[in-house]
Structure 1
């Protein structure tokens, strides 16, 4: 199954980056967003991402030029999808909005187009028109997807058996790392682990008075190296499974209950400290622009990625 023409629906944080990922992979990409301001702002964000990749020597100037030449904005969704082999849905994580987007895609897209949703948590299959179910799947990425290689692939209950292998082959050809699920696991693996970690970190701040800096210090100096080299399950093997079992049997740790609320997040958000784009969150970013901070993050991720690849060799 040949996939050459891609439509990315949604040009925001993930959409513009997914357009770049597919263009760097050699596909021609139509990019659409219902908000003209978001669509008009996407080229600058794509160029900034390319500049970072080029600075880190992850791509050449020629690769950047070719990729940018493969991305075209579309004035309407119909224009974006009319000749697509693959449609990547990356709109806001609200079921009603996604349902409407899928209905519009169904009106205008070729019958054989694959529909891949970047949803983080939703079961999108009940939202997709029946005629599209056989060629619908989840392809969920992590930000920034032009650096982070993991992509979660999951079929729906009626997805043709050829769809997931086709997406897996496409993304492996991009140099990415597809994680194939036999069926939808809500939140996949990485998102579920992040959700559990979020709850525990916020609980430690709210209940035990631990600081954000304390948590990051422990993660960076106690967990990062071992998780990067071993993963978590192999780390348990090295710890010894009997010791792991004894720790569980001791019952000294009880996971936090998700109440749907977090006092520390409420306090920060109400104070205007919403994260990097606000200039402060758990940390104060000293007046640096969000663009500068994201570029610095990306360059550090790229350096780490290069070093880890060299360290790990062929082992995945």
Structure 2
């Protein structure tokens, strides 16, 4: 494949809170080495920051560090990074069982721990207790109102920065603050994210699930309704989406598409009495049945598709190879995308 240009180093005039946020000197502590933490750590290490990756158990930490190493190795194999640059990025990452030392010296703490209110609350209490008075915290929560879970002393120093998996590849980060306390910090957060190659969007207010998870939840109800009704197979469903709305969304998003369809026609479509929405179910049966049978997806080798003897790591690497190639070809549309005009 054609090599992408190397990532530009993060600029030296960035700021978070009242302090400069500078590659080479500023420290980033990532709490949680599960699905999201290693990819987030990789991004900052690749851009010159000193990174501490923390987990509560040695086994989880070892898996997280292996995921980080695998992510760098894949970028080298895809000619997106030199071996020397990958080695340098890895050398900037220190791994820890426990987090007190890493939190105490951090300029930015990114919590990517379990999506559990009490676990989050304990993490925020620890940051408030032992972190520097100037430390900034980003929560990678996917749905929770973390502002209600954190100590009042963190007001103005905590924002949501919700990344998407795989964090080292997918550009979007949803940024949510507790206005008006975090208006400046939200702007600074977006500037830092852009400097490390991400595409941030600011939400004007807190809403459970933020934006993309809410869209995916609603889309999922229709997907499972069509599958359970026998309208289409899982294989053909994915073919239909990849051959239609997926590429069109890349150009028009989901709102501007209405302008091209015509707003009058869209109103008539919403009012069509013959178009019945799917019934509401707490969890779609098509999904729940597979979970009850122990078919959890790539982690178990079977979900809606059968993955045979391929390991989860092999499947993730294959997914990521394709994602890198999609990102290469569509970089114009995902790096600061704008409406068609």
Tell me the TM-score normalized by structure 1: 0.94
Alpha-carbon distance change, 117 to 312 in structure 1, aligned in 2, over 3 angstroms: closer
In structure 1, stretches of 5+ residues that fail to align are none
Q: Which of 29, 34, 52 lines up with 1:30 in the alignment?
A: 52
Shift of 1:222: 2.1
Contact 1:133 1:158 in 2 (8 A): no
Q: For residue 287 of structure 1, what is the aligned residue in structure 2?
A: 309
Alpha-carbon distance change, 192 to 303 in structure 1, aligned in 2, over 3 angstroms: same
Tell me the number of residue pairs that the alignment of Structure 1 and Structure 2 aligns: 316
Contact 1:274 1:281 in 2 (8 A): yes
| SS of aligned partner of 2:219 | helix
| SS of aligned partner of 1:172 | helix
| SS of aligned partner of 1:115 | strand
Alpha-carbon distance change, 177 to 314 in structure 1, aligned in 2, over 3 angstroms: closer
Shift of 1:115: 1.0
In structure 2, stretches of 5+ residues that fail to align are 1-14
User: What are the superposed Cα offsets for residues 123-160 of structure 1, whole Å, 9 maximum, x if unpaired?
Assistant: 11111011112201000000001100000111124633
1-side partners of 2:187 and 2:232: how far apart? 45
1-side partners of 2:228 and 2:335: how far apart? 41
1-side partners of 2:201 and 2:183: how far apart? 16
| SS of aligned partner of 1:74 | strand
2-side partners of 1:47 and 1:22: how far apart? 14
Counterparts in 2 of 1:196-207, with a 5 A limit? Answer: 196-207=218-229
Counterparts in 2 of 1:18-57, with a 5 A limit? Answer: 18-57=40-79
| SS of aligned partner of 2:29 | strand
Alpha-carbon distance change, 126 to 69 in structure 1, aligned in 2, over 3 angstroms: same
Q: For residue 112 of structure 2, what is the aligned residue in structure 1?
A: 90
Q: Which of 155, 160, 166 lines up with 1:144 in the alignment?
A: 166
Shift of 1:219: 0.6
What is the RMSD of the two structures over their aligned residues, measured on CA atoms? Answer: 1.8
Shift of 1:249: 1.7
| SS of aligned partner of 2:294 | coil
Shift of 1:270: 2.3
Shift of 1:59: 2.1
2-side partners of 1:218 and 1:19: how far apart? 35
Larger helix proportion, structure 1 or 2? 1
Q: For residue 12 of structure 1, what is the aligned residue in structure 2?
A: 34
Q: For residue 286 of structure 2, what is the aligned residue in structure 1?
A: 264
Worse-matched range after superposition: 90-99 or 52-61 = 52-61
Alpha-carbon distance change, 187 to 254 in structure 1, aligned in 2, over 3 angstroms: farther
1-side partners of 2:267 and 2:198: how far apart? 35
Matched, 1:194 2:190: no
Counterparts in 2 of 1:98-109, with a 5 A limit? Answer: 98-109=120-131
2-side partners of 1:93 and 1:313: how far apart? 28
Matched, 1:114 2:136: yes
